[in-house]
Structure 1
């Protein structure tokens, strides 16, 4: 599963929610798709989409099954939302969200580790890895990316000297 965004508000009186997402523009969310909402840490509860309409490039107004009041919708505000990779793969082919689970390979050091998550910090994406028990954030900037291999699920990157070492000290 891929973390796509979070619920930021309610909309109207019928239990609609506003999903702020990081998948870019496009109509990737459809009726009958499944959103997995993290109600508690690592508990991904499926919610079937009854209706989804684009509010702007970053937000959807969504009605999900079994949430039909403002009170029920308010309980979801602030919760992280995940989708299965295939929902995004059809709509977004170059999103760093699809790189979760890929191996990160430096051109000089070789395999660094597996990308556990990607986060967006302003206009920049960061890959989150765990190396020697420590969380490491690696910038995924175009100048450093050498190759993204979707078939074999690895990213070859040319990291600046000492970037990883800063985290491990």
Structure 2
């Protein structure tokens, strides 16, 4: 399994018991969706390794308590602390309407109600306070904030994101 075929679920943050149990901080708004997993991929030195889950349960709302098969000691558990957790993309819950996963809209065309076709979404920059659509318009990079007020519609059927940006925002990138 490659990382490109998976999504980041969270990180193992600490041990829970002396019997190899661990606590993972999940990167999700709905941790209860991941309470009954059978297996999970753990990133060990750049390789995704499958681990079977003996039992799991939510712990203090945003932590998932995990007991893996064959992880029975403190030393076994110590080796996994700070490891990232991944699941296959097909396990992501389907989103509808204007909710979307970042990876889902890469390659979509972005159209502005005022400007027209802006270009293709080539990436999402989420390293800033406000996540941004990275758009390629015939070699020119255009950044549009992923603001709920700007997003009019996600049209999955036609692979299009329709936005309504403030007047002049797109022109700023084209007036050079």
2:120 equivalent among 88, 109, 112: 112
| Displaced runs of 4 or more, over 3 A | 92-99, 117-122, 127-132, 136-139, 149-160, 162-165
Conservation of the 8 A alpha-carbon contact between 2:153 and 2:162: yes
Render the CA deviation track for 1:118-151: whole Å, top value 9, x for unaligned: 85878x6x3686967x9x9864331222222455
Q: Which residue of 2 aligns with 1:83?
A: 87
2:38 equivalent among 12, 33, 36: 33
Q: How does 1:1-169 map to 2 (within 5 A)?
A: 1-41=6-46, 43-89=47-93, 98-103=101-106, 104=108, 105-107=110-112, 108=115, 109-115=117-123, 126=131, 139-150=145-156, 154-158=160-164, 161=169, 165=173
Unaligned runs of 5+ in 2: 1-5
RMSD value, Cα: 3.7
Render the CA deviation track for 1:38-66: whole Å, top value 9, x for unaligned: 1123x211112221111133211111222
Query: What is the TM-score with the length of structure 2 in the denominator?
Result: 0.66
Higher CA-based Rg: 2
Unaligned runs of 5+ in 1: none
| Structure number having the greater strand percentage | 1
